[in-house]
Amino acid sequence: MFKGSITALITPFNGGEIDWKAFDNFVEWQIDQGSHGLVPCGTTGESPTLTHEEHKKLIKRCVEIVNKRVPIIAGSGSNSTAEAVELTTEAKDDGADAALVVTPYYNKPTQEGLYAHYKTLNDIGVPIIIYNIPGRSVVDMSNETMARLAELPNIVGVKDATADLARPLALRNLIGDDFCQLSGEDATATGYLAQGGHGCISVSSNVAPALCAGQHEAWQKGDLDAMVTCRDALAPLHHALFVESSPAPVKYAASQLGLCSDEVRLPLVKATDSARAIVDHAIEFAGLKDTAAKAVNG
């Protein structure tokens, strides 16, 4: 069972290429700061603009650095089932603990098409986390389809980015507590936990890993006061990191903490001055500047 604060890793760039030194240091810092798992090559990692070779190298590098200290859930989805099979097979071969597979975007498959897509991936033999994000994919997997898929041995959970807090409880009642439910929305993660969720695949934990991990650990221990303290400190950050298209704001935040440059790949562009001001305030509010000296600089 995957649980806690799982970081959807940014991909550092320098001059248009992957900054491997920054990536290595960033992954190590995430573990040192207490993150409970890592997701390389998700949307936050700008997977749509990574080459196939970069995608494979990032997952392999992440697995090597982590060396089984925390789980690696590799982003390996596509709106082409054949390509998703290829990427997921490679992630398995490279040693990822699971694969995060987005619902096929743009194609708008039916519920039966979604079932067939994931049933095909099930046969690869690696645990699959369904990534349900209607806002980007323009298709919403129903709880009933997810329940059908949960009967397959390798469909083990969902990253739920619907922000519908009725869903985790309804899904748990339908499938049971063994099906891993991970929030895909930082701002509602604590509510998601209260409704039966197990953790969060987080953007905010790129720059506030200790706070995000502490929030989940407090919940697991039943320490609601500590959870509330973390939740309230993080709230402005959750908003700030999505004032413009992600990951531009979180990359700017990372640059302010000395983690990497704020470079993104087209068609994304760097955060605007107005967005930067909002991010700066959130960083200060959360006290993240206090940890800047410990940020990875090599």
Q: Which residues are catalytic?
A: 131, 159
- Residue 117 is classified by DSSP as H
Class of residue 166 by CB neighbours under 10 A (exposed 0-12, middle 13-18, buried 19+) = exposed
E strands, the chain, are 4-8, 13-14, 17-18, 37-39, 73-75, 98-102, 128-132, 155-160, 180-183, 199-202
Residue 39: Cβ within 10 Å count: 29
Q: Which two tokens stand for residue 68?
A: 């089984």
**Are 62 and 40 in contact, with CB atoms under 8 Å apart?**
yes
Closest C-alpha to 132, from 153, 149, 120, 151? 149
Q: Which residues contact 116 (CB under 8 A, 6 or more apart)?
A: 81
> Is the Cα dihedral 116, 117, 118, 120 positive or negative?
positive
Query: What is the phi-psi region of residue 21: left when phi exceeds 0, alpha when psi lies from -120 to 50, beta otherwise?
Result: alpha
Q: Which two tokens stand for residue 206?
A: 């790129």
Alpha carbons 255 and 292: distance in angstroms, whole number: 10
Burial 102-118 (b: 16+ CB within 10 A, else e): bbbbeeebeeebbbebb
